Structure 1
């Protein structure tokens, strides 16, 4: 059975794109588990770093904001900039949006996507084969976890939540590490909040290792009077990246790479400072140069800018080292498709409608950050991306 458009992924970007396409009258099939990365790739107890006003899933129908969800379900309230949103509540919000606007979601996995004539053939893990004239990739962070090469080289079988080294995305319940000495690599929100959650879950000792020379930093509380602040931060320097994402793709590739990696910089949320200070040990200004596993325990060789080094031994290393777009990780895309995708600045080169160099193949969310900037790594980017993508797809395939 063929349909004009297939959307792969049912997180905020997939649901938002599907809702906009349907509003334009484009028949859509949507595949995936609703909010799966949020449900399984974030430890219980985590809180969103973005304010409620910047956390809504953009859809073309009124009545589906986070505040509307609170009014309909009694959750929250999550209305003030100082209200903190538990990840569990946000998952329920996304599922609520899905049930109301994308009720036909097919909770199956797409095994492969290949060219077929002037369209695409999708194979599902249910055994079905489906055709589509256009495909929207909205798989989010799935498969994009990044490990430092020095750490990855010590793990022939890869990171694992039950092994000596893991990535932060592999944990849903950090209490499994209670009673153990844990080293957390990184200085961003994921690292600092994971360290706090580990301490609160009963880890014997927690140490954060950060390569930057400065002390780990935290943001400042929001001020509601700054009405023009960027939705994923409060620094005025980020205003253009948030509200003029379309111009980002016109910047030179080196500039896009630099801004993509540095904005926002590594730091913790304002509300995390009190829970972190004096409770988590920090080793700063030390770069990982080598990692080994000795008698089942990870051993990290560190070196500072002064050339001085040392070893850190732990029961477990948790790498909260973020995500980086890797087209090779989208292994459900056939080899012919992947080799036809032109990449720039660490992601697929996209046109103004989020279309790739392969006609009919579109990307939204994290893969689009290389073309449209860091706002595409946050839910607030759905407001920019989804209407443009839907209009482009509708013109070509609706």
Structure 2
């Protein structure tokens, strides 16, 4: 595929892109690939695979199976298996893949599929003129686009328990805040949470010479069972089919029928998004974890305070008894809560005007991932209450990218725009007076 080449303009008009994709993770890169193949004039802004490269500790592994973790291009050529085959790397069912190798795959995909990614830090997205959007960045003048796709991933939606929010950064961090856990060697660290991120973080801490403990509200830890072979008899396949989200008909429906999930009542969709495929550790982690990480189960955190260079946690134990922990650092592996209120880069008035799904804070979306504001599209975690739990995983990127780009084409056709042609927008725009919170990839 030919890479998009951009040359500076010398006149006083500004180019108007068909589509600007904000975010260069699996969803943003997949949308860019589909849009370029469809002939759209598209830009992808962000740091490619930023979450995977910068916010996951060394030594972590991909929990999903390699065959369920492909980024999506229309021809299906740039798969994880294709990348690994050219480098002698295993991409086999039942064999976990290092996160570092997966991040390298994403960078390879970005180089070979879709437009060249522009490492710009987006600070604001706002309506501009007649049906366009103005995208402000820290690097260079603003851009104009007829449509925008927000594929900002999970980082804007990091969740901290309320009790931990007042703590300073040197005493408390989120599990996505670390690339290198070696800084905690010799320090006692309390990890809050009961899912894969919590258990794998605690396990890595122990292996690096820290003294971790895990605190979880649940009365027990859930572990995924070892994966079943891909090659099975017909009866076994019919009884318990494989899918990109695991085995079983329920998981198969979530993985393969997101459009059907969207037709369910809003309340049911929200419950599915919040509860399906709940916290659980990967089967391959269990042997490394058990016996090495002390665990406090059934404990609820209700207060935290800095005491010198340490933190005192006030908990309620499984029997209702008070428990006080003194710890050197707290890592909140407490997941993500998608909410439009956290998207500071989106114009405040526009954000407030968007229709929400059910009672939650996520946008109501069309079958083409378009919000109630014409031309503004969403992808990734924030769309899970509309299309189901597959949008929480890379596996959903193919469905989302194809549907979203078709939605963009319909929107452009409705406006009478010809995809792939430049537009003379407003006159050159004046510099911003200031920048709100930013997002990059």
Q: TM-score range by the shorter chain?
A: over 0.9
Verify the 8 A CA contact 2:34 2:114 in the aligned structure 1: no
Runs of 4+ in structure 1 displaced over 3 angstroms?
none
Counting only pairs closer than 5 Å after superposition, residues 67-106 of structure 1 correspond to structure 2 as 67-72=81-86, 74-78=87-91, 80-106=92-118
**Alignment partner for residue 209 of structure 1, among 215, 231, 235?**
215
Verify the 8 A CA contact 2:37 2:114 in the aligned structure 1: no
**Alignment partner for residue 29 of structure 1, among 43, 48, 62?**
43
**Alignment partner for residue 71 of structure 2, among 48, 57, 60?**
57
What does residue 319 of structure 2 align with?
306
What does residue 227 of structure 2 align with?
222
Following the alignment from structure 2 to structure 1, what is the Cα–Cα distance between the partners of residues 268 and 115? 41
**TM-score, scaled to structure 1:** 0.94
Following the alignment from structure 2 to structure 1, what is the Cα–Cα distance between the partners of residues 101 and 40? 31
* Shift, 1:390, TM fit: 0.7
Is residue 2:57 matched to residue 1:43? yes
- In structure 1, list runs of 5 or more residues that go unmatched: none
* Shift, 1:61, TM fit: 2.0
What does residue 416 of structure 2 align with?
none
* Shift, 1:103, TM fit: 4.5
* Shift, 1:86, TM fit: 0.6
* Shift, 1:256, TM fit: 2.2
* Shift, 1:235, TM fit: 4.0
* Larger relative contact order, structure 1 or 2 (CA cutoff 8 Å, min sep 6): 2
Following the alignment from structure 1 to structure 2, what is the Cα–Cα distance between the partners of residues 316 and 121? 41
What does residue 258 of structure 1 align with?
271
Following the alignment from structure 1 to structure 2, what is the Cα–Cα distance between the partners of residues 290 and 390? 46
Verify the 8 A CA contact 1:346 1:370 in the aligned structure 2: no
Following the alignment from structure 2 to structure 1, what is the Cα–Cα distance between the partners of residues 401 and 76? 15
Verify the 8 A CA contact 2:341 2:361 in the aligned structure 1: no
Counting only pairs closer than 5 Å after superposition, residues 348-363 of structure 1 correspond to structure 2 as 348-363=363-378
Following the alignment from structure 1 to structure 2, what is the Cα–Cα distance between the partners of residues 373 and 313? 40
Is residue 2:378 matched to residue 1:371? no
**Alignment partner for residue 27 of structure 2, among 13, 24, 49?**
13
More displaced stretch, 282-291 vs 327-336: 327-336
Following the alignment from structure 1 to structure 2, what is the Cα–Cα distance between the partners of residues 358 and 273? 46
Following the alignment from structure 2 to structure 1, what is the Cα–Cα distance between the partners of residues 312 and 270? 32
Three-state SS of the structure 2 residue aligned to 1:347 is: coil
Verify the 8 A CA contact 1:257 1:370 in the aligned structure 2: yes
Verify the 8 A CA contact 2:374 2:411 in the aligned structure 1: no
Following the alignment from structure 1 to structure 2, what is the Cα–Cα distance between the partners of residues 251 and 184? 36
Change (3 A) 1:236 1:76: same
What does residue 6 of structure 2 align with?
none
Following the alignment from structure 1 to structure 2, what is the Cα–Cα distance between the partners of residues 305 and 207? 16
What does residue 239 of structure 1 align with?
252
What does residue 187 of structure 1 align with?
194
* Shift, 1:342, TM fit: 1.5
Equivalent pairs, count: 388
Is residue 2:145 matched to residue 1:141? no
Change (3 A) 1:316 1:235: farther
What does residue 284 of structure 1 align with?
297
Is residue 2:309 matched to residue 1:296? yes
Verify the 8 A CA contact 2:43 2:115 in the aligned structure 1: no
Following the alignment from structure 2 to structure 1, what is the Cα–Cα distance between the partners of residues 386 and 187? 42
Following the alignment from structure 1 to structure 2, what is the Cα–Cα distance between the partners of residues 211 and 298? 19
Change (3 A) 1:103 1:247: closer
Following the alignment from structure 2 to structure 1, what is the Cα–Cα distance between the partners of residues 268 and 274? 10
Verify the 8 A CA contact 1:58 1:380 in the aligned structure 2: no
What does residue 165 of structure 1 align with?
172
Following the alignment from structure 1 to structure 2, what is the Cα–Cα distance between the partners of residues 75 and 330? 41
Following the alignment from structure 2 to structure 1, what is the Cα–Cα distance between the partners of residues 38 and 114? 14
**Alignment partner for residue 129 of structure 1, among 135, 139, 142?**
142
Three-state SS of the structure 1 residue aligned to 2:202 is: helix
**TM-score, scaled to structure 2:** 0.85
* Shift, 1:396, TM fit: 1.8
Following the alignment from structure 1 to structure 2, what is the Cα–Cα distance between the partners of residues 178 and 342? 47
Is residue 2:204 matched to residue 1:200? no
Bigger Rg, structure 1 or 2:
2
* Shift, 1:300, TM fit: 1.3
